[in-house]
Structure 1
Amino acid sequence: MVPMSGGAVASVPEGLLDGGVWFRVEEAGSASAVRRAAERLAAELAMPEKRVADLAIAAAEAAGNLVKHADQGLILVRTVRSADQAGVELIMVDSGPGMADVQFSIGDGHSTAGTLGIGFGAILRQASRWDLHSVPGKGTVMTVQVWPARLPDPAWAAGLTRPITGETACGDAWAIREIDGRRQMLVSDGLGHGGLAAAASHEAVRAFHRAPAVPPAQVVEFLHRAIGHTRGAALAVAELDLTAGMIRYAGLGNISGTVLGPDGNRRGMVSMPGIAGHQRRQVREYDYPLLPGATVLMHSDGVVDRWNAADYPGLLSHSSEVIAATVLRDAGTRRDDAGVLVAKVS
């Protein structure tokens, strides 16, 4: 992942196809950089020209809105994939001022900056799927997906990562998979920062996708053996068993896992001390109840645990992408790589 920046983009940057690129959006020139990056990514994915043009409009309007209305605006441009197609996702994050009435604010004709007030409407008209959550005084998170053809079902989980300030590579990574009826999630935090930390987590992700269809503790053992040639990582694997109403969890090192119940209850999940690839005691697996309407949240130690869902009315009813981006914005520290993975239980 490249640094958060509003600089010009001459070609599709390394990382845009797999992990995405963050842009800091604080001046008018930033909007052009975001639009060009989105267009180039869509072209690289061979999206139809009409959808490339739609995406360009959405990207330009989204960036323009941040410049005009927001504080500390950021946009992530990245690929999203279903089983048979690839699209482009924009994730817009700001730290204020937020909107008290979202439905009124996104309607055509509403403006707080003396403009025509059609920016949000233009974005929504081009989007295949969108979601937005805003809290006055805290800020707004909006996600927009543009797909080349039919709209696929929403992903059952989604994550975000961001590198430590000053680094271009992020040592945190996440992945999800469904294999032989098992729905599993991985968060990895490569030891240290920079390229070697990123390499450790990327190897963990590759190993995760080729691991056998076994319970989380056995997957963690497999990853421990697979990344021994790297500097190692803290990592955890969760398995959502919707039929049994249970989540199975196993980890090594300081990856945090939390189940947020539909009633607001919060339950932490336990990882064992160690470094996958280098040091481990016995890997243990723990079971926790998983009720319909629950949210599963996993994150690296670059995200602090004091985040409280009660401070964000209605947030847990939104998409995994919006929840992850909100947590990353308000609980992620700039002194470390940060990664968040969220799954919704229907």
Structure 2
Amino acid sequence: MTGAGPVPTAEDVAWLPVEDASAVGAARRAVTGLAERLAFPPTRTAEIALVVTELATNLAKHAEQGVLLLRALRTDARAEVEVAAVDRGPGMADPELAFRDGHSTTGTLGIGLGAVTRLSDLSAIRSAVGKGTILTARFAPEAKRDRPAPGEDFATGVTRPMDGEDICGDGYAIRRQDNRLHLMLCDGSGHGPLAALASQAAVRTFLETDLTTPEEMVRRLHVGMNGTRGGAVAVAELDPAASVVRFAGVGNIAAAVVAERKRGMVSLPGIAGYQARSIRRFDYELPDDAVVVLHSDGLNERWSIDPLDRWRAKPLVMALDLLREAGVRRDDASVVVAKAGGW
């Protein structure tokens, strides 16, 4: 890969609890409204609504703490809808079996999952008995049968507002250039709209500024967040050709390289936009099968990633799993996951 490639910006539109049958209709209406807002054709909108209805129905029947996440993915050329179903239900020993038409299960997400693979462009599932299930599906405006499948994901993030808030004060962005991948995560100070304004200033600065070293980018973020509440920021540059990840951060963004072991990366004290006395870059080894994780303090740091996931699981599934297992509901939460290779 050469040049700067398009990385979709993701808007986490809604987290919808699905605790009983009354939530199914609300989920269907919400995703229909999202698809219409993104100018999807009526036929495609109806297909997405069918999938969400199946997912929500199974969550209501079988899940524990089931929730649907609705996302809008955008590049300069197109918009897509992404949905995720997450639960702490009984789980499944053979999740791939659930995708076969006609298969039924008393576990979470049984009947109707064949429609997910038929109608979506990308889908993934992870389930473990006693732990729960995560299922994701992405939809482009055109019917899947009319065009080739899109490429594999290599990095993504997810945000979730704290309980009682509609807006998350965290934000992130991902860019790639030449053979390098650049990640930025910001935790706006406090919660709600003013925290979101701070993180939005960081995202805007990161996306509109020429890519440079992580330490220089953090300096630019510090300036770009002037006049806001400020917040914690971190930037990571993944360089697989050199087998290194370069990292700089101000504040309490947690970051780690996960390979044979989990190795934390150092972020220095300060508040971007207010006070950042020391901005310094640290370099870390980046094995070919590594995963790089950045997250706000809305996740505790006592998490781990199954070694098989470093090459098997999609980044969004890993991000949602980390949020489910390590997220705290009394704070905004965000996590970015990127694979070291594959782009």
Which TM-score applies when normalising by structure 1? 0.89
What letter is aligned with 1:331? Answer: A
Calculate percent identity across the aligned residue pairs: 47
What is the alpha-carbon distance in structure 1 between the residues aligned to residue 339 and residue 115 of structure 2? 29
Q: Residue 180 of structure 1: CA displacement?
A: 5.9
What is the alpha-carbon distance in structure 2 between the residues aligned to residue 53 and residue 290 of structure 1? 43
1:126-156 Cα distance to aligned partner (Å, 9 max, x none): 1111001111111111100011234332343
Partner of 1:288: 284
Pick from 325, 339, 342 the counterpart of residue 344 of structure 1: 339
Partner of 1:257: 255
Q: Secondary structure at 2:12's aligned position in 1?
A: coil
Q: Residue 94 of structure 1: CA displacement?
A: 0.3
What is the alpha-carbon distance in structure 2 between the residues aligned to residue 155 and residue 108 of structure 1? 26
Pick from 272, 275, 279 the counterpart of residue 271 of structure 2: 275
Pick from 304, 317, 320 the counterpart of residue 325 of structure 1: 320
What is the alpha-carbon distance in structure 1 between the residues aligned to residue 168 and residue 154 of structure 2? 24
What letter is aligned with 2:154? Answer: W
Q: Secondary structure at 1:183's aligned position in 2?
A: strand
Pick from 213, 223, 226 the counterpart of residue 224 of structure 2: 226
Q: Residue 204 of structure 1: CA displacement?
A: 0.7
1:244 aligns to 2:239 (yes or no): no
What letter is aligned with 2:309? Answer: L
Q: Secondary structure at 1:105's aligned position in 2?
A: helix
Partner of 2:100: 107
Q: Secondary structure at 1:64's aligned position in 2?
A: helix
Q: Residue 273 of structure 1: CA displacement?
A: 0.6
Whether contact under 8 Å (2:185, 2:295) holds in the other structure is: yes
Whether contact under 8 Å (1:217, 1:285) holds in the other structure is: yes
Whether contact under 8 Å (1:57, 1:126) holds in the other structure is: no
Partner of 2:4: none
What is the alpha-carbon distance in structure 1 between the residues aligned to residue 11 and residue 292 of structure 2? 24
Partner of 1:19: 12
What is the alpha-carbon distance in structure 1 between the residues aligned to residue 102 and residue 286 of structure 2? 44
What is the alpha-carbon distance in structure 1 between the residues aligned to residue 99 and residue 232 of structure 2? 41
What is the alpha-carbon distance in structure 1 between the residues aligned to residue 152 and residue 74 of structure 2? 10
Unaligned runs of 5+ in 1: 1-16
Q: Residue 82 of structure 1: CA displacement?
A: 4.2
Partner of 1:10: none
Q: Residue 121 of structure 1: CA displacement?
A: 1.1
What letter is aligned with 1:266? Answer: K
**1:23-102 to 2 correspondence within 5 Å?**
23-102=16-95
Q: Residue 106 of structure 1: CA displacement?
A: 3.2
1:215 aligns to 2:192 (yes or no): no
Whether contact under 8 Å (1:273, 1:280) holds in the other structure is: yes
What is the alpha-carbon distance in structure 2 between the residues aligned to residue 332 and residue 113 of structure 1? 28
What is the alpha-carbon distance in structure 2 between the residues aligned to residue 319 and residue 259 of structure 1? 16
What is the alpha-carbon distance in structure 1 between the residues aligned to residue 166 and residue 17 of structure 2? 14
Paired residues, what number?
A: 326
Whether contact under 8 Å (1:182, 1:213) holds in the other structure is: no
Partner of 1:315: 309
1:146 aligns to 2:144 (yes or no): no
Mean Cα deviation higher: 44-53 or 18-27: 44-53
Whether contact under 8 Å (1:174, 1:205) holds in the other structure is: yes
Q: Residue 157 of structure 1: CA displacement?
A: 1.0
Q: Residue 111 of structure 1: CA displacement?
A: 2.5
Q: Secondary structure at 1:329's aligned position in 2?
A: helix
What is the alpha-carbon distance in structure 2 between the residues aligned to residue 25 and residue 198 of structure 1? 26
Whether contact under 8 Å (1:272, 1:281) holds in the other structure is: no
What is the alpha-carbon distance in structure 2 between the residues aligned to residue 198 and residue 121 of structure 1? 38
1:106-129 Cα distance to aligned partner (Å, 9 max, x none): 333332449xx6411122221111
Whether contact under 8 Å (1:248, 1:285) holds in the other structure is: yes
What letter is aligned with 1:304? Answer: N
Q: Residue 321 of structure 1: CA displacement?
A: 0.5
What is the alpha-carbon distance in structure 1 between the residues aligned to residue 152 and residue 228 of structure 2? 34
Whether contact under 8 Å (1:219, 1:237) holds in the other structure is: yes
What is the alpha-carbon distance in structure 1 between the residues aligned to residue 135 and residue 256 of structure 2? 23
1:177-224 Cα distance to aligned partner (Å, 9 max, x none): 124654210111011111111111111111111122210000000000
